[in-house]
Structure 1
């Protein structure tokens, strides 16, 4: 902390650059090492990706929200090492009040420090509602983007912090007149 107080601009700048590097590693890592799969599952069936197991539990179709949109929701369980991590509800929202009945896909997500697990509901059997197609993504290192952003903000605040260290003041002493010692022109 004393270093930061002595020269906040310098060390704030270092933190800003560190934050940018951490963000870069997060973006590159999450893009390069992203894993994805697509699976069509019947109720009770599971699929596995990167040590995660996702089980399709049930379908809740035709739920109506307060704003009038119709939500078709798949309920899935996410497991890792035989430990239940989350129950996710990926869904498709339909907006019947619009002329062409637009839809929007909402992902189910589970985040850890290690990675993010996303599942999208792509399609389902509208008649029996016993099977659905999912797209599953695992994004490792994505949380480094958030940590890098936090480091960037801290560095920016540090760089803006006023310098509170005492400044060295060196007094200027004028040189004696050379004429007094017989030098220079008269």
Structure 2
């Protein structure tokens, strides 16, 4: 049995929420990003950019933009990611082999069981493998061999949690203010979409 600790995302030294919001503001101020890039779409940008675009369209004031970005800058999803989406990984392998027979007949049976769960929820693999070999001596010069090999596996690939976690901004939490899971971050984009 092999165990691996939960991932510690803090060792990645990712940018903080405040750092990312600062970059978003700089990108917008230099003209590398405007609301025109996302005309007619409902995705592709972060909540921080959504606030910037709301200001661009006159939906909120400069003071509102600062207040909203300040509230985002104090958030960090590191603890929620570790508590809700990571787990201790485990890998188990078991193997059994039996052999025997007599002068005219020999057999070998082997079986294995693998159970693997990665450090991310929704990612698991289980397999059972059975091998059986029978060797019959019909005459000194003629042998018959019968082999049976079977593999049964079950894989729960789920979603690619690792890639999704690395793609989330540090202020994008797994739970909302009411303690409910946030399943789709595209809903915030609706605020700035053209009619």
Shared fold (TM-score greater than 0.5)?
no
TM-score after normalising by structure 1: 0.26
Question: Which structure is higher in helix share?
Answer: 2
Greater relative contact order (Cα < 8 A, sep 6+): 1
Higher strand share: 1
